[in-house]
Structure 1
């Protein structure tokens, strides 16, 4: 079972203050850019956000879950609406993956998150759920190819990924390898 990492508390009492969630996510993004994944701590994030570590622990099961939500916010991974054209839909997927993975915060978080998802099945499930939902039920192999291609290309030649690259990958995925 996968649970949303920032779902509202279901317990009675005072409603959760969304401003704290926003401040924590903002502080996490800032610190990722300043100190990188390895330099992050819940204490530093809480101090930057003007809250406490227990407030973070009530909202996110771990630092890794918090970083995942900060690096890949819902608006970056919003579901794609089918256009009726396979080529347009694949291009939108490739462009969306590039936008999500190339974002400076996502790039700062990626090395740590890759290590974390291999060690944390719950985080792995949350990550898969978020990206699968963004692609609107697209077949898993296509999700793997688009995400894997984009992620690896960002590692190898991040400065060469532009609309032309998106078009080339789209063509390869929709038309295959030219003979």
Structure 2
């Protein structure tokens, strides 16, 4: 498996995967502050320069570990109802923020986003330009299929789901976001979207 970067020679995707797996394991074990690229390289069977060719620094690497686009933007279901799409958003947020690596990394990563404006831009640009428009369109399409007029900006509802899940994870510490929490969040978001004003 290889990926071509910048028009140059193909990059070995196996190294990418090994580094991401090693970083995820280490985040779960030692947290963000305890993670070093040296230890990631040793566990992944590669070198720090090889990691830096892919990710300029620790914050870049951790960002790719804890915010997988594949989870935030799953394949579309052309017959999904509004309730289905809301459920998918809540489940994706819960999956991202319930991950042990994310729990150990989130505060350290947020603290590093301030001085590292390129990482902050990368994270916010990915959410704003890829994830948010996709999810907004899904909600609008599903509402149209259901014959429901969406009463609120879907983007705001997505932000509530994202921010609410993050807040729940931070406040609940080691408690999992169980079925009862997910059901409550789904009902709340669906009621807001489908409310008649």
Q: Normalising by structure 2, report the TM-score.
A: 0.75
* Structure having the larger proportion of residues in helix: 2
Alpha carbons of 1:42 and 1:122: their partners in 2 closer, same or farther (altered >3 Å)? same
In structure 2, what is the equivalent of residue 63 of structure 1?
58
Deviation (angstroms), 1:145? 0.7
Q: Partners of 1:29 and 1:86 in 2: how far apart?
A: 33
In angstroms, what is the RMSD of aligned CA positions?
2.4
Contact 1:80 1:134 in 2 (8 A): no
Deviation (angstroms), 1:97? 0.3
Tell me, yes or no, if structure 1 residue 90 matches structure 2 residue 86: yes
Structure 1 residue runs of 5 or longer lacking an equivalent are 1-6
Q: How many residues align?
A: 170
Q: Which has the higher contact order (CA 8 A, sep 6+)?
A: 1
Contact 2:86 2:186 in 1 (8 A): yes
Q: Partners of 2:10 and 2:76 in 1: how far apart?
A: 33
Q: Normalising by structure 1, report the TM-score.
A: 0.82
Deviation (angstroms), 1:156? 1.6
Give the alignment partner of residue 141 of structure 1, picking from 156, 167, 174.
Answer: 156
Structure 2 residue runs of 5 or longer lacking an equivalent are 137-153
Give the alignment partner of residue 76 of structure 1, picking from 65, 71, 84.
Answer: 71
Alpha carbons of 1:11 and 1:54: their partners in 2 closer, same or farther (altered >3 Å)? farther
In structure 2, what is the equivalent of residue 125 of structure 1?
121
In structure 2, what is the equivalent of residue 3 of structure 1?
none
